[in-house]
Structure 1
C-alpha cells in the first residue's frame, strides 16, 4: 500500500526505491506480501511484479478486488460479479502469474447481494485462477455466509492496540484455522506516549513502540499475520525485527489491560 503515491494514488516519488523495498523484504524472509488493485490504482501490483517476478518458491502475493478509486483518498465498493472477475483477470496480468495465491474481497458492496460476489470468487477458484480466497472488513456473520460458497482462508480487518472492534472476528479466525491479517497494525495511540505501557516496554526492551505493538499482535493469536506497510528500507527492517521481540507475561498483561 505504501509503495504508491500520496493518498495511495499514482506513482511513488521514487519508483526505484519502491522496487528496492519489495526486494529487500523478500531478502529478509518475508513470504507474504499484501496488495490490492486499488493501491495506485494498479501501481502497487505492477511494482511488485517488476521487483519480484519470477517469484521465489514459497513467496505468496495476496491481492484484493472490490474497491474503486475515483481519486486520492477515495474508496468506493463495487461488488458486481462481472467487475470482480474483470479485476481478478487484470490482477493476473499485472502480477504476471497464471494463478493468484490469495484473492481477497476488499469490501462488501451494500448494493450487491453478498452471495453474488462470493459466487464469482468461488468460480474463479474452481477455474484454477485463484489458489485461496479471503475477505476484508467483515463480520463473523459475513465469514460464515461466505463459507457456504468457498473455504475462507484469510480475513483482513483493522485491528491493533487502539482498535479492538474485530476482537470477535479474530477469535473466530483463531478457533477455525483462518489467517487473520490486521491492517493498521502498528497504531498504539496514547499507549505509546511517554509513561504509557507501550512506551515503557519499548524503553525497557530497547525497542521502538511500533515493534512492541507488532510483538503484542504476534503473541495475541497464532492466526495473526500483521502487514505493516512502508516505503522505507530502514522502516521495513525495523518492522521485521519485531518478529524477534518477545513480550514476557507481565508486559503483555499490562499492555492488554491498558487497551
Structure 2
C-alpha cells in the first residue's frame, strides 16, 4: 500500500486504514442470519482479497450469527487480517426501533462474569485462541462501575484471551479513566462529515496514541435529521461538486476526508454490496486539496 494507507494497532498489528464493518451481514434489525449466506461469505472473502485487513464485528450482531459467519468465510484467517469484536451489549429482540420505548430490546451489562463469558464465547465462535482486538461495547452499563469493566478486560488480556483492548461508545472522560488502568489500542465512535458530535473523543483518542475507528463513516445524515428531510441533500450539495471534480463518488470523498483528518483514523464502512466495497477502497486514491478540506470542514459544527 501507499504511504499513509496503513496504521498500527497496539504497537504490533498493522492494518489498512479502511476497514470493513460486518454489522449489516445479519437479518432485519440486526437480528438473526443474513438471508443470503452464500453472498455474505463471498463478500467477506472479496473484502480480504481487495486488501481489507480489519474486520469489525460484535457478539450483539445477530446476536452471535455475524461472528459465526466470519469464521465460516475466512477461517483460518490470513496472517495480516485482524478481527475485532465487542462484548457488553445484550439483545432482547429484533426491533431496534422499539429501543426508546422498551429498554429490554437492547442493554449494556458490565458484570465481570458476563464480560469474561462473552469474550471466551466470541473467541470460540471466531475460532481463535486469542482475539486480536476486543472492545467493551458500551460505556453505558451501570450494573458495575466502568473502571471495573475495564479492569475485567485487562485481566482477560493478562490471561491471553484478548490481545488488545478497545472501547466503543464511551465519553472522553471514560477514555481517560480507562487509560489509567490499561493501554487502549482503539476507540470506535460515530463520526463523519455530517456528524461531528464526537470530535472531542476523536482528538482525545489520537492524542493518546490510540486508533479511532468511526462507524457509519459515509453517512450524510446530520444528528436529529430524518432521512426524508433536506438535511442529507444539503450535505450532498457540498460534497457532490468535489466528487465530480475528482471523478469519484460522494462516499469516496467522505472517506477521503476522514483519512486526511488524522493518520490514526480507520473508518469501518459497512456494506452488503461488492461494488460499494470496491468504491470505498477507492478512497485511498483521492487526495483532497486544502480548499476542499476546508469546505467539508464547514459542513457541520464540531463539539
Measured in 2, the distance between the counterparts of 1:203 and 1:233 equals 22
Task: Report the counterpart of residue 120 of structure 2 in structure 1.
Answer: 89
Contact 2:236–2:250 at 8 Å: present in 1 too?
A: no
Task: Report the counterpart of residue 250 of structure 1 in structure 2.
Answer: 291
Matched, 1:213 2:249: no
CA drift of 1:148 comes to 2.0
Contact 2:211–2:265 at 8 Å: present in 1 too?
A: yes
Task: Report the counterpart of residue 52 of structure 1 in structure 2.
Answer: 74
Residues 5-57 of structure 1 show CA distances to partners (whole Å, capped at 9, x for unaligned) of 11111111101111111100100111110000000001110011001100101
Contact 1:199–1:209 at 8 Å: present in 2 too?
A: yes
Residues 98-143 of structure 1 show CA distances to partners (whole Å, capped at 9, x for unaligned) of 0000000000202321122111101100011111001011111101
* Structure 1: gaps of 5 or more residues: none
Task: Report the counterpart of residue 217 of structure 2 in structure 1.
Answer: 185
Contact 1:191–1:258 at 8 Å: present in 2 too?
A: no
Greater displacement, 82-91 / 165-174: 165-174
Match for residue 107 of structure 1 among 138, 148, 152: 138
CA drift of 1:255 comes to 1.1
Task: Report the counterpart of residue 132 of structure 1 in structure 2.
Answer: 164
Matched, 1:15 2:10: no
Measured in 2, the distance between the counterparts of 1:194 and 1:175 equals 28
Matches within 5 A, 1:34-183: 34-72=56-94, 73=96, 74-108=105-139, 109-183=141-215
Residues 180-227 of structure 1 show CA distances to partners (whole Å, capped at 9, x for unaligned) of 010111112346558721111112211111111111111111110100
Contact 2:220–2:236 at 8 Å: present in 1 too?
A: no
Measured in 2, the distance between the counterparts of 1:138 and 1:84 equals 17
Task: Report the counterpart of residue 3 of structure 1 in structure 2.
Answer: 25
Alignment: residue pair count: 259
Runs of 4+ in 1 over 3 A off after TM superposition: 189-195
Task: Report the counterpart of residue 230 of structure 1 in structure 2.
Answer: 271
Measured in 2, the distance between the counterparts of 1:188 and 1:247 equals 18
Contact 1:192–1:209 at 8 Å: present in 2 too?
A: no
Greater displacement, 46-55 / 194-203: 194-203
Q: SS where residue 207 of structure 2 aligns?
A: helix
CA drift of 1:75 comes to 2.4
Greater displacement, 169-178 / 130-139: 169-178
Residues 148-188 of structure 1 show CA distances to partners (whole Å, capped at 9, x for unaligned) of 22101001011111111111111112222110010111112
Q: 1:107 to 1:195 in 2, by over 3 A?
A: closer
CA drift of 1:68 comes to 0.5
CA RMSD of aligned residues (A): 1.4
Residues 59-80 of structure 1 show CA distances to partners (whole Å, capped at 9, x for unaligned) of 1000000100111124211111
Contact 2:68–2:125 at 8 Å: present in 1 too?
A: yes
